[in-house]
């Protein structure tokens, strides 16, 4: 628990330069692996590698798990399978090991597993690797403490002491029958409170919340969040206990999903903070390019209405307003429907009801702003055709943007495409182009009518 500051980093840099290994080690060896990873991140690549290679055994593996995926991938790519297996993977919990193995090619995965001496552990890894990484099976660990429903408190305590060797922390003890079917859960508190000869059959909780191995990971996250669980047992189709998921992994998932949505909405692909300049530009260019192409299209649409601009130049003055209102309403609608699709709120509404509600809200907002705009133009003495055009166009564009912003993510979701891509520059650009088309058409229509 130290504050990593500039001076500390500078000190490390000097020691690395002078190759003072013992002094370096004494400075970092007592730190938490997460802190060491943070230090490595703030050093230049070569310095970080030098420092990291001073670490050994369990600490080296713990730090490896904490560093960013890109760096780890690059580091492991240079190492032979035997080193990866014996110096890193063997020290890890199965869930971390599977994450790291998942970053290697399939051939290398097999090679690494073949070098692992603990056969039971190797087998666990092979099985865990068969699960999709976005499912409960893909994030669970095989390490857990399980006791038989027929045991006494005393047998359980003895057995737990033995099993717990491999496990950092015990949160729950799972109760299984002779066929390894999950029957319930037993709290350590009860084991401590009850007399040693008590049969656990009388004290364990039968109502245990679990997930199937193929449950999507965000469903797992929501379940643990809703029921305030610290660990969740994972079972197969038959009810056999296969592993457990701990809350720290779920916290990462919650954070990741929330940040992904936010980045999508901001038009950034991936996590750019701390990225090198070129990589950062690359993460931002795709969305900007979509916007750019869309707006070039818009310029062509507008170009085909050149005569309208010549006759009523005022129509140009309100283009930003029409476009911005459509865009803002569209983003709101999309983000509301996305929250529902992500299941963060109870969603027992039908599609029809969603659209209807959005329509009513949109009608109210469209009416409000159109009237406001009409009054503004009326009292600032703008020309009559323009006054009607912009108010009617604003009304239609708001309704259109709300419905499009609601429907589009739903359609993407039905097509099994991540609906979050509907946010950000994508929805704004589409709204821009279609909104301008609506605006200019109405302008032309009114001009033909009144002009």
100-159 binders of a copy of itself (CB under 8 A): 157
State in angstroms the smallest separation of the CB of 123 from a copy of itself.
Answer: 25
Pairing state between β 173-176 and 146-148: parallel
Applying CB under 8 A, does 254 fall inside the site for a copy of itself? yes
Applying CB under 8 A, does 49 fall inside the site for a copy of itself? no
Q: Which residues sit opposite 181 in a β-bridge?
A: 240
C-alpha span between 142 and 89 (Å, rounded): 14
State in angstroms the smallest separation of the CB of 109 from a copy of itself.
Answer: 25
State in angstroms the smallest separation of the CB of 178 from a copy of itself.
Answer: 24
State in angstroms the smallest separation of the CB of 187 from a copy of itself.
Answer: 6
Applying CB under 8 A, does 45 fall inside the site for a copy of itself? no
Residues 30, 70, 132, 134: which binds a copy of itself (CB under 8 A)?
A: 30
Which part of the chain contacts a copy of itself (CB under 8 A), choosing from 21-29, 77-85, 175-183, 422-430?
422-430
* First-residue to last-residue Cα distance in the chain: 75
Applying CB under 8 A, does 280 fall inside the site for a copy of itself? yes
Q: Which of residues 164-223 bind a copy of itself (CB under 8 A)?
A: 164, 167, 169-171, 187-189, 191-193, 207, 209
For the residues of 335-398, what is the DSSP string, one character each? HHHHHHHTTSS-----HHHHHHHHHHHHHHHHHHHHHHHHHHHHHTT--HHHHHHHHHHHHHHH
Q: Where do the H-state alpha helices sit in 18-129? A: 21-28, 33-41, 45-52, 57-66, 69-77, 81-83, 94-101, 106-114, 119-129
Residues 50, 151, 309, 447: which binds a copy of itself (CB under 8 A)?
A: 309
C-alpha span between 52 and 440 (Å, rounded): 63
State in angstroms the smallest separation of the CB of 38 from a copy of itself.
Answer: 6
C-alpha span between 70 and 47 (Å, rounded): 17
Residues 248, 414, 450, 451: which binds a copy of itself (CB under 8 A)?
A: 248
Applying CB under 8 A, does 93 fall inside the site for a copy of itself? no
Nearer CB in complex with a copy of itself: 104/321: 321
- Give the tokens for residue 154: 């005393």
Q: Which residues sit opposite 175 in a β-bridge?
A: 147, 184
State in angstroms the smallest separation of the CB of 278 from a copy of itself.
Answer: 8
C-alpha span between 80 and 362 (Å, rounded): 61
- CA quadruple 422, 424, 425, 431: dihedral positive or negative? positive
Which part of the chain contacts a copy of itself (CB under 8 A), choosing from 81-89, 136-144, 408-416, 418-426?
418-426
Which part of the chain contacts a copy of itself (CB under 8 A), choosing from 85-93, 104-112, 120-128, 274-282?
274-282
Residues 102, 216, 239, 314: which binds a copy of itself (CB under 8 A)?
A: 314
Residues 2, 44, 45, 316: which binds a copy of itself (CB under 8 A)?
A: 316
State in angstroms the smallest separation of the CB of 194 from a copy of itself.
Answer: 9
Q: Which residues sit opposite 246 in a β-bridge?
A: 231
Cα→Cα distances 375→64, 314, 443, Å: 64, 16, 18
Task: Give yes or no for a contact between 199 and 150, defined as CB atoms under 8 angstroms apart.
Answer: yes
Nearer CB in complex with a copy of itself: 114/193: 193
Q: Which residues, 6+ apart, have CB-to-CB distance to 344 below 8 Å?
A: 222
Give the count of residues interacting with a copy of itself (CB under 8 A).
117
Contact track, a copy of itself, 362-401, x by CB under 8 A: --xx--xx--xx--x-------------------------
Smallest Cα–Cα separation from 408: which of 436, 429, 391, 392?
A: 429
């Amino acid at each position: 628990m130290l504050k990593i500051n500039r001076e500390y980093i500078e000190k490390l840099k000097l020691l690395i330069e002078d190759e003072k290994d013992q002094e370096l080690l004494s400075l970092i060896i007592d730190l938490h692996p997460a802190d060491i990873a943070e230090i490595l991140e703030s050093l230049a690549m070569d310095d970080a590698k030098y420092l990291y290679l001073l670490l050994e055994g369990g600490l080296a593996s713990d730090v490896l798990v904490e560093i960013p995926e890109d760096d780890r991938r690059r580091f492991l790519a240079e190492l032979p399978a035997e080193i990866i297996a014996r110096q890193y993977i063997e020290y890890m919990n199965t869930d971390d090991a599977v994450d790291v193995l998942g970053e290697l090619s399939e051939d290398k995965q097999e090679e690494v597993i073949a070098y692992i001496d603990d056969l039971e552990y190797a087998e666990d890894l092979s099985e865990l690797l068969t699960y999709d990484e976005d499912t409960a099976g893909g994030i669970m660990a095989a390490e857990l403490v399980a006791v038989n429903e027929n045991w006494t408190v005393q047998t359980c305590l003895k057995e737990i002491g033995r099993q717990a060797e491999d496990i950092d922390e015990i949160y729950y003890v799972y109760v299984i029958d002779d066929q390894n079917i999950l029957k319930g859960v037993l709290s350590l508190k009860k084991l401590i409170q009850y007399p040693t000869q008590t049969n656990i059959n009388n004290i364990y909780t039968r109502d245990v919340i679990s997930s199937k191995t193929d449950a999507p990971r965000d469903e797992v996250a929501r379940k643990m969040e809703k029921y305030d669980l610290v660990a969740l047992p994972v079972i197969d189709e038959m009810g056999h206990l296969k592993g457990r998921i701990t809350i720290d992994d779920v916290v990462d998932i919650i954070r990741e999903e929330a940040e992904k949505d936010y980045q999508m909405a901001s038009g950034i692909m991936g996590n750019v903070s701390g990225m090198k300049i070129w990589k950062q530009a690359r993460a931002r260019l795709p969305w900007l390019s979509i916007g750019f192409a869309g707006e070039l299209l818009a310029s062509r649409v507008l170009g085909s209405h050149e005569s309208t601009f010549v006759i009523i130049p005022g129509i140009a003055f309100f283009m930003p307003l029409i476009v911005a209102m459509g865009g803002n309403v569209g983003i709101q609608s999309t983000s509301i429907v996305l929250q529902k699709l992500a299941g963060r709120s109870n969603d027992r509404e039908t599609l029809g009801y969603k659209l209807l509600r959005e329509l009513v809200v949109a009608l109210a907002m469209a009416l409000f702003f159109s009237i406001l705009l009409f009054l503004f133009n009326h009292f600032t003495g703008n020309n009559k055709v323009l006054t009607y055009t912009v108010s009617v166009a604003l009304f239609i564009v708001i309704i259109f943007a709300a419905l499009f912003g609601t429907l589009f993510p739903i359609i993407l979701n039905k097509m099994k495409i991540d609906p979050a891509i509907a946010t950000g520059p994508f929805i704004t650009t589409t709204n821009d182009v279609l909104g301008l088309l609506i605006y200019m058409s109405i302008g032309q229509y009114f001009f033909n009518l009144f002009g």
